[in-house]
Amino acid sequence: MAKQEVSQFERQRQEKLSRIRELGIDPYGGRYEGAEQASDIKGRFKEDDESQRAVSAGRIVLLRDIGSLIFMTLRDWSGTIQIGLSKKLLGEKWSLVKLFELGDIIGAEGQLGKTKTGEITIWADSVTLLSKSLLPPPEKFHGLSDIDLRYRQRYVDLWANPEVMERFKRRSSIIAAIREFLSSRGFLEVETPMMQQEAGGAAAKPFVTHHNKLDMELFLRIAPELFLKRLLVGGMEKVFEINRNFRNEGLSRVHNPEFTMLELYQAYADYNVMMDLTEELICLLVEKYCGGERVQFGEETVNYSRPWRRAKYAELLKEYSGCEIDDINSVRAKAKKLGLDEASMDDAVVISKVFEATVEENLVSPTFVMDYPSALCPLTRRKKDNPKYAERFELYIGGMELANAYTELNDPAVQEENFKIQLRGQEETMAKMDADFITALKYGMPPAGGLGIGIDRLVMVLTGAATIRDVVLFPLLRPVSE
């Protein structure tokens, strides 16, 4: 029934399209000069100045036809403005105007004024059809029942729901602010390969592709880490990249297989420097985009006031699970109570799973979780006073991991041995030893701090988005069943 109704509406619009063409008008017009953004037009409006004129272009989102007078609301990406259309002013163009419908994209030019109700309005004496819409706007696009449709048809979601447009404009601005912050501190933006011969830099299952000419298997990168560190070896002392990573894993509220990551490295630094930099950067973004240190995220209030909490991994495990990290029997007993198949896991993995299940959701306000078990950190320098732990932190906000950072390991012998240990039991991830990276380390990599921040999750907490799909323009979705 729904498909028949849509077909009927489309057929009606096709008929109007034919009538427009019969008028000798191109329904898909070209270049349109002089249009201002709606917000700028409203901002410059002056009372009692009858000489003001304006040119606007946008999509018709409201339409009231009262005979010889039509009021339309046009929406561009800055907002909306009302257009007043009268038969008297438009003359022979009136036959075209009567064929306009919701969703059409038009241009309008005329005197700027106000209606009796105080609405700033362009009283158009010239109109141009720029694109005829053949599908009507979905009537219930705002409803939660249509949330899947909104993701699938983001091109409608953006103009049907202004708050969605604002969120993605803010995302773009946030990324630009990050670039400005890092550039002002001497970091150089670089690009590293998206297709790699070895799936390295993180423990994750990659997407596999094939290069026909070279007849070789390649992987979409799971992380840029090993290439960025090669640049440290080459003498680039502060580098960063904002780009895509790909991990052939599940979908969830906080996971998308294709995601955007900021990754940076600074020579002669360590994870303490990375903590300071992370706190400074995110606090700057909170001040700029959130208007205060207390920010609502879901049902929780995140307190960004400084200094942020810095807590050791083992202490948090004890606080929230009741387990001492060195008492593996108690950790395994806790894992069993949580319903985890701990018998098939290494000790380090059991500890990690219990931490995830008991600690993470409690870390609402920014918390740096420091000093992870070394077995979980094959690319990280060990602590000199206690090699069982590594100089690594993860930042949690709103109960989810937002950043990961190390004091980087630069000893080639230790790194090679760690790679061998990491590769055990990872056959399904197709991970292999990156021998060239070991060669690079043998030339000497300076001591360094490294940091990765998930851009999508950062935008989530800065905009109050409930799911990662709300901050990714085109998230991966299951195919629609026929």
Question: Could you tell me the pLDDT band of residue 378, with boundaries at 50, 70 and 90?
Answer: confident
Count of positions (residues) in the chain = 482
Per-residue pLDDT, 2 = 46
Contact 166, 75 (CB under 8 A): no
Q: Quote the CA–CA distance of 105 and 342 in Å, as a whole number.
A: 59
Q: What is the pTM of this model?
A: 0.92
Residue 145 scores a pLDDT above 60:
no
Task: Report all structural domains of the chain as residue ranges with CATH numbers, in order of start.
Answer: 2-137 (2.40.50.140), 156-308+365-470 (3.30.930.10)
Q: Quote the CA–CA distance of 225 and 76 in Å, as a whole number.
A: 40
Nearest to 202 by CA among 368, 379, 437: 379
User: What backbone phi and psi angles, to 5 degrees, belong to 25?
Assistant: -110, 135
Question: Could you tell me the pLDDT band of residue 74, with boundaries at 50, 70 and 90?
Answer: very high
Work out the average pLDDT over 429-453.
90
Q: What is the pLDDT of residues 242-274, one digit of tens each?
A: 999 999 988 899 999 999 999 999 999 999 999
Tally of CB atoms within 10 A around 376: 17
Per-residue pLDDT, 348 = 92
Q: Quote the CA–CA distance of 411 and 162 in Å, as a whole number.
A: 52
User: What backbone phi and psi angles, to 5 degrees, belong to 209?
Assistant: -135, 180
Per-residue pLDDT, 148 = 87
Burial (CB < 10 A; 0-12, 13-18, 19+), residue 145, is exposed
Owner of token pair 């410059």: 44
Q: What is the pLDDT of residues 295-343, one digit of tens each?
A: 999 999 999 999 999 999 999 999 999 999 999 999 999 999 999 999 9
Q: What is the pLDDT of residues 21-66, one digit of tens each?
A: 999 999 998 899 999 999 999 999 998 888 999 999 999 999 999 9
Per-residue pLDDT, 425 = 59
Tally of CB atoms within 10 A around 227: 22
Tally of CB atoms within 10 A around 46: 8
Work out the average pLDDT over 182-199.
95
Work out the average pLDDT over 122-132.
97
- Find the helix or strand (DSSP H, E) in which 162 lies: helix 162-184
Q: Quote the CA–CA distance of 178 and 183 in Å, as a whole number.
A: 8
Record the tokens describing residue 110, joined without a space: 């005329």
Q: Quote the CA–CA distance of 468 and 260 in Å, as a whole number.
A: 11
Q: At what angle do helices 455-463 and 162-184 cross, to 10 degrees?
A: 120
To 5 degrees, how large is the angle CA 288–CA 290–CA 294? Answer: 125
Beta carbons within 8 Å of 392's beta carbon, 6+ residues apart: 271, 370, 371, 372, 376, 377, 380, 404, 405, 406, 407
Work out the average pLDDT over 222-248.
96
